[in-house]
Amino acid sequence: MNLFLSLFKLLPPELAHKAALISLNILYKLKILNLLFPKFKDQEYEFLGMKLKNKLGTAAGLDKDGDFIDCLGALGFGFLEVGTVTPKPQNGNPKPRVFRLFDEQAVVNRLGFNNKGVDHLVKKLKSKKFMGIVGVNIGANKNSKDQKRIDDYIECFRKVYKYSDYITVNISSPNTPGLRDLHDLDNIKNLILNIENEAKLNNFNRPIFLKVSPDESAETIKSIADLINLSNLTGLIISNTTIDKEILHNKKNIDIDGGLSGAPLMKKSTEILKAISNHNPELPIIGVGGVMCKSDFNEKINSGASLVQIYTGFIINGPKIVSEILN
The pairing of strands 208-212 and 166-170 is: parallel
| Catalytic residue chosen out of the listed positions 164, 173, 239, 269 | 173
Q: What is the DSSP string of 120-137?
A: HHHHHHHH----SEEEEE
What single DSSP character describes residue 87?
A: S
Q: Please tell me whether the peptide bond between 281 and the residue prior to it is cis, using omega within 30 degrees of 0.
A: no
Distances (CA, A) of 36 to 2, 48, 283: 11, 33, 38
Query: Considering the entire predicted model, what is its pTM?
Result: 0.94
pLDDT band at 165 (very low <50, low <70, confident <90, very high): very high
Beta-carbon contacts of 241 under 8 Å, excluding residues fewer than 6 positions away, are: 109, 173, 174, 214, 258, 259, 260, 261, 265, 289
CA distance linking residue 248 with residue 227, whole number of Å: 33
Torsion angle defined by CA atoms of residues 290, 296, 302 and 306, in that order, rounded to the nearest 10 degrees: 60
Rounded mean pLDDT, 244-260: 89
| Stretch (H or E) spanning 9 | helix 2-10
CA distance linking residue 228 with residue 234, whole number of Å: 7
Q: What is the phi/psi pair of residue 219, to 5°?
A: -65, -40
CATH topology of domain 2-326: TIM Barrel (3.20.20)
Active site residue 213: no
Is the separation of the CB atoms in 262 and 316 below 8 Å? yes
**Segment 276-306, tens digit of pLDDT:** 999 999 999 999 999 999 999 999 999 999 9
Rounded mean pLDDT, 85-105: 94
More confident residue, 131 or 5: 131
Cβ–Cβ contacts within 10 Å for residue 126, how many? Answer: 10
Most confident of 64-68, 184-188, 219-223: 64-68
Rounded mean pLDDT, 15-24: 92
Whether 4 shows a pLDDT value over 70: the answer reads no
Is the separation of the CB atoms in 291 and 234 below 8 Å? no
Question: Edge-to-edge strands of the sheet including 106-109?
Answer: 98-101, 106-109, 259-262
- Tell me which residue of 266, 268, 275 sits closest to 308, measured CA to CA: 266
pLDDT of residue 252: 85
Query: For the chain, what is the radius of gyration of the CA atoms?
Result: 18
Residues paired with 136 in a beta bridge: 82, 167
| Stretch (H or E) spanning 223 | helix 218-229
